[in-house]
Amino acid sequence: MSASFNLDGNSISIESTTLGTDYFKKERTIIALRVNGELKDLATDLATLDGATVQTVTIDSPDGLNILRHSTTHVLAQAVQQLYPDANLGIGPYITDGYYYDFGNIPAVTPETMKELEKRMKRIVKDNQRFVRRVVSEEEARKEEAEQPYKLELIGSKGGDAEGASVEVGGAELTMYDNVDRNGNIIWTDLCRGPHLPSTKFIGNGFALTKSSAAYWKGDQANDQLQRIYGTAWPSKEELADYQHRIAEAERRDHRRLGTELDLFSFPEEVGSGLPLFHPKGGIIRMEMENYSRKRHIQAGYDFVYTPHITKGQLFETSGHLSWYKDGMFPPMHIDEETDAEGNITKQGQDYYLKPMNCPMHSLIYRSRGRSYRDLPLRLFEFGQVYRYEKSGVVHGLTRARGFTQDDAHIYSTREQMREELSSLLTFVLSLLRDFGLDDFYLELSTKNPKKFIGDDEVWEEATRVLEEVAKASGLELIPDPEGAAFYGPKISVQAKDAIGRTWQMSTIQLDFNLPERFDLEYTAADGSRKRPVMIHRALFGAIERFMGVLIEQYAGAFPAWLAPEQVRLVPVADAFNNYCEDIAQKLRSEFIRVTVDTSDDRFGKKIRNASKDKIPFTLIVGGEDAENNAVSFRFRDGEQCNGVPQGAAIAHIVSVVNKRYNKPEEEKYEAK
């Protein structure tokens, strides 16, 4: 048998049976092949690939990392069955940065269990067991998995699922993977689609178990409750350490923990999941965010509107949300019919909904009177409170809530204006995000979902083309998001990286030709004809709450002075200097600086530690020499101190830093003139 094929752009000829594991045995980073677009085990016989296009897959590539992590789940499952021989195996998919495996018929997983499993996994890796693929019939698979109820269910479905798929989709074939030792003995077997690493040795020492939780089979609460064990795997121990450092840093910055420590917000059980209460300090931050945003919107020519929290269901029938978005809305409130004194019905009962978005109401404002081309573009802006029925499992502090405030704008323009409007809008969005300290962006273009859209294909194609051209003209990297659009139009999403390299979806810009049609929106053109406006949906922060959560994590709670809820704290060395401190505080307040004086009974050292713990930008220390010289000592958040600063110079510096909205700690430092 011989074959000629294209390998990584080069023409290759193979004269006889040659396994990829032998052909690439000196290339330790190559762990799999992609043959005509399909991932295959490295042990594939290259002589069977005549005419194929073949690409090598390295362990550090996205595909390679997925294969590494999925292979590590098999090692985990083998270790679990060593410890609990009667364990029932569920699914074991790779996920972002890691993997998990679900197990039934095992006790609750403890930290001690995790340590024991890691020890066993390391021994399995060291044993250098080969992963060997084997095609089986359904009858053979059922016989081999007779004691595994969840595997039998997957075999019966002939399909697996999106997360861990044990069976080839469509039932073309069933495959088992055997773990084989150096002597050719089968040590352990699992029903799986693959592909896998050539052997466990390729896993190395860059893996760890991270946590455990309860889970339901196939995610359905009506099914069995299982134990889910999570882990992570990387090509090297150093990369594992880097990942663990990032996770530790993310935990240190977790906005939920910092929100409690800094007394910014809370989620009382009495209120409900995903519905935050903002405390005074959190309220200050939110006020600053909103006030600055309002100023920028006034400069950009927006008009401010306000709309109610609830509305009749008919409005969302017109917009299409009840057809396409009902699962994301809270159930309706039924308002009974009204009757007169004689009991005659004067008004039929109505279903009212908490609004999940503001666009239908903004369209009613547009439609409230006649519009001319001279009125366009019309930019309507609102801090609109909306409500979405998020599932409990996805609610996550401020960043995924059930009640939140969108900084929502809807822009109505002519078709001739839309390209320029979109371009200037994207510039405005990026500028405002930079003002809050985010400056590392890329864009995503979300296109039509063929199963979930309204309107004509031609309109969608035009809207998508215009958005793509505007995005590319920005000079930022543009990533496709196939089928990710809302039902009414394509969108650009601004993706921003934070201080530790995580990506957050920020602003969205959606181009919509459909809602103006559904709401019968018109304007009078220059020639007197009636035309439809184009509608642009835009949420800049996305949600005030979510953006605050991002900023808390971006700054690890140490907000820039202009955003900090407490900008200055005065700490007298002794009570004798309290009045002097109060005098300085009053002068700062007259400049609209948020300041407190620590007159507590705490010792001086503890007062300084408290200011540091509370992440105060400027701590002003006052002792006898300072009071005598009408001065203060600056202490900054990094512990650096500048003594003997004249009172007037200190106040001027603080006011200047706040008014200039500096975002970097080094810009807050005082330098003697």
Spatial CA neighbour of 388 closest among 327, 436, 476, 345: 327
Is residue 408 part of the annotated active site? The answer reads yes
Residue in 102, 190, 408, 626 annotated catalytic: 408
Residue in 388, 448, 546, 653 annotated catalytic: 388
Are residues 161 and 149 in contact, defined by beta-carbon separation less than 8 angstroms?
no
359 is in an annotated binding site: yes
Spatial CA neighbour of 564 closest among 661, 645, 496: 661
Q: How far apart are CA 316 and CA 300, in angstroms?
A: 30
- CB atoms under 10 Å from CB of 526, counted, come to 10
Are residues 80 and 101 in contact, defined by beta-carbon separation less than 8 angstroms?
yes
**Burial readout 531-569 (b: 16 or more C-beta within 10 A, e: otherwise):** bbbbbbbbbbbbbbbbbbbbbbbbbbbbbbbbbbbbbbb
Residue in 40, 362, 537, 607 annotated catalytic: 537
Q: Residue 372's beta-bridge partner residues?
A: 524
Query: Degrees (nearest 5) of the Cα angle 304, 305, 309?
Result: 140
Q: How far apart are CA 218 and CA 163, in angstroms?
A: 10
Token pair belonging to 568: 């200055």
Describe the crossing of helices 111-126 and 62-83 by its angle, rounded to 10 degrees.
110
Q: How far apart are CA 172 and CA 435, in angstroms?
A: 55
Spatial CA neighbour of 80 closest among 89, 71, 67: 89
Is residue 419 part of the annotated active site? The answer reads no
Q: How far apart are CA 470 and CA 538, in angstroms?
A: 15
Residue in 78, 81, 129, 406 annotated catalytic: 406
| Distances from the Cα of 152 to the Cα of 140, 174, 319, 579, angstroms | 11, 12, 45, 79
Token pair belonging to 486: 């809302």
Cα 270 to its chain centre, rounded Å, is 27
Q: How far apart are CA 490 and CA 457, in angstroms?
A: 12
**Which residue type, as a one-letter code, is found at position 212?**
S
Q: Helix, strand or coil for residue 122?
A: helix
Is residue 512 part of the annotated active site? The answer reads no
Q: Residue 35's beta-bridge partner residues?
A: 38, 54
Cis peptide before 572 (omega within 30 of 0): no
Per DSSP (E only), the strands in 167-269 are 174-180, 186-191, 207-216, 225-233, 265-266
Are residues 375 and 427 in contact, defined by beta-carbon separation less than 8 angstroms?
no
Residue 238, exposed/middle/buried by CB under 10 A (0-12, 13-18, 19+)?
exposed
Are residues 205 and 122 in contact, defined by beta-carbon separation less than 8 angstroms?
yes
Query: What is the Cα gyration radius of the chain?
Result: 31
Q: How far apart are CA 620 and CA 643, in angstroms?
A: 10
Is residue 359 part of the annotated active site? The answer reads yes
Q: Helix, strand or coil for residue 10?
A: strand
537 is in an annotated binding site: yes
Is residue 410 part of the annotated active site? The answer reads yes
Find the helix or strand (DSSP H, E) in which 288 lies. Answer: helix 280-299
Pairing of strands 174-180, 130-136: antiparallel
- The string of DSSP letters for 563-629 reads T-SS-EEEEESSGGGHHHHHHHHHHHHHTT--EEE--SSS-HHHHHHHHHHTT-SEEEEE-HHHHHT
Q: How far apart are CA 321 and CA 319, in angstroms?
A: 6
Residue in 193, 491, 635, 653 annotated catalytic: 491
DSSP 8-state code for residue 201? G
Query: Degrees (nearest 5) of the Cα angle 504, 389, 259?
Result: 50
245 is in an annotated binding site: no
SS3 track for 140-155: HHHHHCCCCHHHHHHH
DSSP 8-state code for residue 243? H
Report the catalytic residues: 359, 388, 406, 408, 410, 491, 537
- Residue ranges at the known binding site for Zn(2+): 359, 410, 537
